[in-house]
Amino acid sequence: MIILLDGNPKSDGLCRSLSDAILEGVRQGGAEVVRLDTCDRRLRRCQICGTGWGSCRTEHRCSFGDDGFTAMQEQIHEAAGYILVTPVYWHEMAEGLKSFLDRLRRCEALHASPIRGRGALLLASAGGSGNGILPCLEQMERFCRHVGLTVYDRLGANRWNAEWVREAAREAGRGFARFVLNPSASGPGR
């Protein structure tokens, strides 16, 4: 199973059309995919326990995880790969995805986490100019590096390239599913 961590608050528009294209590709590739909504308003931000660390460091779980975070974290542990999708806000990830990943990173980065070594696909969808795609993708990639995910692809879309990036997104989803279902076929240099 693949998890799509969605930072998009909208149910239509460019970003949604791109994540739909990825989902279509993943399903065509034969993998099951579950979308988790990081814009869910019940989710809290990191409460920065103690003097900077809490149970995230010692027990690899969030003390405030009963807001839905822990249930999502458990689903994430079960997945074989991850797709991160966000609109570009202020040249960064949208706030919902950022604060979810802030909490997840604290729980997964400092131990032999089950997600370490798995693959990720990144998609950032910008507005008119496309300004901010690169710093946004870089921010997403930094999360992946901290938790030990291998990034298979980085897609950046705006209104000018949307048509062909949508096609690329479908293909990326299909290819990602293939890699996740058959890990021996994947990996740097192959």
**Contact between 14 and ligand FMN (CB under 6 A)?**
yes
Pairing relationship of beta strands 81-89 and 2-6 according to DSSP bridges = parallel
Q: Which of 1, 10, 45, 182 is close enough to bind ligand FMN by CB under 6 A?
A: 10
Cβ contact 147:117 at 8 Å: no
Q: Pick the binder of ligand FMN from 7, 87, 119, 156 (CB under 6 A).
A: 87
Q: Considering the complex, state which of residue 66 and residue 167 has its C-beta at the smaller distance from ligand FMN.
A: 167
Q: Applying CB under 6 A, which part among 50-58, 77-85, 124-132, 138-146 lies near ligand FMN?
A: 124-132
Residue of 29, 8, 13 whose CA lies nearest to 123: 8
Residue 140 found at the interface with ligand FMN (CB under 6 A):
no
Stretch that binds ligand FMN, among 29-37, 81-89, 98-106, 141-149 (CB under 6 A): 81-89
Q: Is 125 in the site for ligand FMN (CB under 6 A)?
A: yes
Q: Give the residue closest to ligand FMN by C-beta.
A: 13
129 near ligand FMN, judged by CB under 6 A = yes
Query: Shortest CA distance to 73 belongs to which of 86, 61, 59, 55?
Result: 61
Site for ligand FMN in 31-60 (CB under 6 A): none
How much is the CA Rg of the chain, to the nearest whole Å? 16
Residue from 46, 99, 127, 138 in contact with ligand FMN (CB under 6 A):
127
Does residue 160 belong to the site contacting ligand FMN (CB under 6 A)?
no
Tokens of 166: 């949508």
For ligand FMN, the closer CB: 15 or 104: 15
Helix 14-28 to helix 162-181 angle (10° resolution) is 30
CA dist., res. 116 & res. 108, Å (int):
8
Distance CA 79, CA 160 (A): 33
